Structure 1
């Protein structure tokens, strides 16, 4: 049993770091190298194999991402790590690993506005990340840098995990603006190859 559980535990810890650590953190780099080595020893599986226990095996990547990010926190699968990259959704359980390619023309960025507390994050972890403002009504406006094209302008409610996620065009940069109960804040985003999919520096004041 220990031998079976170890690869998942290591992967969970490392993907947790990736989902809750900033770029350039040496400890994250070391842990990432360790899990990459371990992943080679762990079983490669198909996405359908990994997602079947959660009734998501027949869904495309858009649906899988949306379903997991919007899932109530108390219903989150405890044995699944789903980490969002610009080009892939990386899946890991104690049984093995798999990945789903993101659409070529868009990717997913999830952000967590906050007033009092936040955490550093680079790659959004759909089943573990949690923000401060759960199920909160907010107004969001997302614009593309340079052209000032408005990509999103609507009133929404944050998910139960305190985040709100949007699908945005690939290879652009821009700004996310959030308003909640008279407080406002903004943060930059990038969907370029080295962009972060997790935005947690969006402080409202």
Structure 2
């Protein structure tokens, strides 16, 4: 019985190492091996990482890299929460967890003013920002907070309560400027 347990543990270890090596090889093939979830998302946002050959699904606690149908988890920061927001005027789509390689918002490369105020009154963001070419603005917010995000463009404005607790959405597409 003891030999069986040792053999089982050895086989399980080899299979685990093989799976890790395969995931590392797949990530290497698209230039992502060794990068954190935050580094990957920031690289996609600033254009330094080419999104050819893979997809990205963003959850609150992990980034899923999708390569040829394989779903490879990459850890997200423990103290920061990723939120991608697509303000809109006329058109939007339903979204809960952001697809950093697929989601598209209406207002592409547009300037807006963004303010985020925590429930305790602390102002975390108060500045002019631009939506990216996909119509989204990416934010790295502290985890486990609630606050109000206000986005303004000219005479149009929208406010929404945002939460960064575990399990919250990473994609916000319901902020209609009016």
CA distance in 1, matches of 2:30, 2:155: 39
CA distance in 1, matches of 2:170, 2:61: 10
CA distance in 2, matches of 1:46, 1:197: 28
Alignment RMSD: 2.2
CA distance in 1, matches of 2:27, 2:128: 31
Larger strand share, 1 or 2: 2
Quote the residue 1:62 is aligned against: 38
Between 79-88 and 127-136, report the one with greater CA deviation.
79-88
- From 117, 138, 143, give the equivalent of 1:143: 117
Quote the residue 2:6 is aligned against: none
Question: Residues 123 and 196 of structure 1 are in contact (CA less than 8 Å); yes or no, is this contact kept in structure 2?
Answer: yes
**What TM-score comes out, normalization by structure 1 length?**
0.70
Question: Residues 45 and 98 of structure 1 are in contact (CA less than 8 Å); yes or no, is this contact kept in structure 2?
Answer: no
Question: What SS class does the counterpart of residue 62 from structure 1 fall into?
Answer: helix
Q: Structure 2, unaligned stretches of length 5 or more?
A: 1-18
Larger helix share, 1 or 2: 1
Question: Residues 76 and 127 of structure 1 are in contact (CA less than 8 Å); yes or no, is this contact kept in structure 2?
Answer: no
CA distance in 2, matches of 1:47, 1:156: 36
Q: CA deviation at 1:103?
A: 1.1
Q: CA deviation at 1:184?
A: 0.8
Larger Rg: 2
CA distance in 2, matches of 1:136, 1:111: 13
TM alignment of 1:125-136, pairs within 5 A: 125-136=99-110
Q: CA deviation at 1:48?
A: 4.4
Question: What SS class does the counterpart of residue 63 from structure 1 fall into?
Answer: helix
TM alignment of 1:162-173, pairs within 5 A: 162-173=135-146
Q: Structure 1, unaligned stretches of length 5 or more?
A: 1-42
TM alignment of 1:80-99, pairs within 5 A: 80-94=54-68, 96-99=70-73
Question: What SS class does the counterpart of residue 64 from structure 1 fall into?
Answer: helix
Quote the residue 1:52 is aligned against: 28
TM alignment of 1:15-26, pairs within 5 A: none
TM alignment of 1:1-205, pairs within 5 A: 48-71=24-47, 77=51, 79-94=53-68, 96-145=70-119, 147-205=120-178
**What TM-score comes out, normalization by structure 2 length?**
0.80
